Structures are given as C-alpha cells and as structure tokens.
Structure 1
Amino acid sequence: MVEYTNWRKSTRSSDSGQPNCVECRQTWRKSTRSSNTADADCVEARNTAAGFQVRDSKLGHESPVFDLSASDFTGLLRVADRD
C-alpha cells in the first residue's frame, strides 16, 4: 500500500504566486504497542500545525481522522498507558 500523506507548507512562505517555499510531507506513525499482525489493534498518529491527528491503521485511507489538541493527545496517551 502506498502511504499518501499531506504536504505541509513552511509558515515562512507567502501566499503570492511565486513564493520561495519548502513543503514537508507528514507521515503517519504507528503505535509502538501495535504488532505487525494483520488483525492487530493499531493506532497511527501524526503531528499537525494545530496539534495531532489519529486514525485506525487497519482502515488506512478509509479511516476517520480525529484532530486533537496537544493536551488532548497527551491525555489520550496517558489514559492508554493505563491499559
């Protein structure tokens, strides 16, 4: 499966027609607690300018993507660590 990710433009780039800009691709990172088996419960996350996004890796591009603030993501990690 090809992993499609969003491009993220540098905040120093202008919105003019010919800006000198750099774009970076945001990649999904799989939880280190996920195994490599096909039926593993997997969560993937990536950071964004506004915080973080999480999705179910088993669903890939069909998964809903949840936007979380940094504090909400930290809280999610804290609660998940208790299980």
Structure 2
Amino acid sequence: MLFILVLQIVSCTKKEVFKTESFKTNSGWGYSISYKDKIIIKQSIIPVINDNKSFSTEEDALKTAHFVVEKLKQNLSPTVTKNELILLKIKL
C-alpha cells in the first residue's frame, strides 16, 4: 500500500527540468538553456565583457550554463556578472 502511495506522489509531481547544451562557434564555444523543450537562452559570446568572443572551452561554456540554471531555479535573474565569471574561473 505504501509503495502505491509513493508511486502516485512521484507520478503526480511534475519536474520541469532545464536542459543545457554546448555548441561550437566560429571562435570557441557557446551554450543554450532549454525549458519545456524550448530554448530560452542562447549565449554564443561571453556576457559582460567588452569583446565579442566565445568561451574558450566547452567546459567553461557548460559551467556558466549550469550556473545560470541554478539562478533560474532560485527565481533569480539569469544575468551573469564579471565577478561571477571570475569566481567560476572562466577564462576571459
């Protein structure tokens, strides 16, 4: 009986999951974030820096994407500051 109750609770709770993906650009890497199978953010350049350059590694792009997803999950603005990129050790 307990097993059935747990199954019902699990099946009734919707988990809306953010999906992150990296993609290759002409000069490096970018990332996209999807929600309910729709792209909500597509970032091909490093935000908040003066140059229009992409992330130098796929790891940096995905690290930033995961950071933005965490902000979204907390209902915070998805904007990223230069200081946050430095704390994430993103190569600028």
TM-score normalised by L of structure 1: 0.29
Bigger RCO (CA 8 Å, 6+ sep): 2
Could you say which structure has the higher helix fraction? 2
Which has the larger strand fraction?
Answer: 1
Q: Please report the TM-score for the alignment, with normalisation by the length of structure 2.
A: 0.27
